[in-house]
Amino acid sequence: MKVQEKRAQMGTFKAAGPRPDGSAAGLSLARKYYKDPEIYAREVDNIILNCWIFAGHVSQIPNVGDYFLFNLLDESAIVVRTKDGSVRAYFNVCRHRGSHICKENSGNVKRFLCPYHAWTYELDGSLFAARGMPEDFDSSNIRLHDCAIDFIDGMIFINFGDNPTSLENAKRDLADPMSMYDFGAMKVAAHKNYQIAGNWKATLENYQECYHCAPSHPEYSQMHTLKVDPEKFDELQGAMMESMPACNLKHYEVDKQFDAQDPGQEQYAYSRYALFENYKTGSRDGKPVAPLLGQIKGYDHGASDISVGPLTYMLAYNDHVVVYVFTPTGHETSACDIYWLVRGDAVEGKDYDVDRLTWLWDVTTQADERIIVDNQKGINSVKYEPGPLSNMEYLVDKFIRWYLKELDV
Domains observed in the chain: 3-50+168-407 (3.90.380.10), 54-149 (2.102.10.10)
* Stretches in the chain below the pLDDT threshold 70: 1-16, 226-230, 409
Per-residue model confidence as pLDDT tens digits over 102-122: 999 999 999 999 999 999 999
pLDDT at 273: 93
Give the C-alpha distances (Å, rounded to integers) separating 332 from 27, 32, 253, 335, 407: 21, 12, 35, 11, 17
Distance CA 254, CA 218 (A): 29
- Helix or strand or coil: residue 364? helix
**Which residue, among 331, 334, 398, 402, has the nearest Cα to 365 in the 3D structure?**
334
Distance CA 86, CA 90 (A): 13
Distance CA 155, CA 157 (A): 7
**Which residue, among 74, 368, 2, 47, has the nearest Cα to 202 in the 3D structure?**
368
Contacts of 4 (CB under 8 A, 6+ apart): 234, 237
Contact 249, 256 (CB under 8 A): no
Alpha carbons within 13 angstroms on the beta-carbon side of residue 250 total 11
**Which residue, among 312, 42, 264, has the nearest Cα to 164 in the 3D structure?**
264
Q: What's the DSSP call for residue 226?
A: T
- Helix or strand or coil: residue 332? coil
pLDDT at 12: 53
Q: Using CB atoms within 10 A of its CB, is residue 39 exposed (0-12), middle (13-18) or buried (19+)?
A: middle
Contact 213, 269 (CB under 8 A): no
Pairing of strands 302-308, 268-274: antiparallel
Contact 56, 78 (CB under 8 A): no
Distance CA 59, CA 78 (A): 16
Sign of the CA dihedral with 9 first, then 12, 17, and 23 last:
positive
**Which residue, among 47, 42, 43, 88, has the nearest Cα to 66 in the 3D structure?**
88
Pairing of strands 268-274, 87-91: unpaired
User: What angle in degrees, to the nearest 10, is found between the helix axes of 394-407 and 37-46?
Assistant: 90
Contacts of 153 (CB under 8 A, 6+ apart): 174, 175, 178, 179, 182, 183, 184
Give the H or E element holding residue 74. none
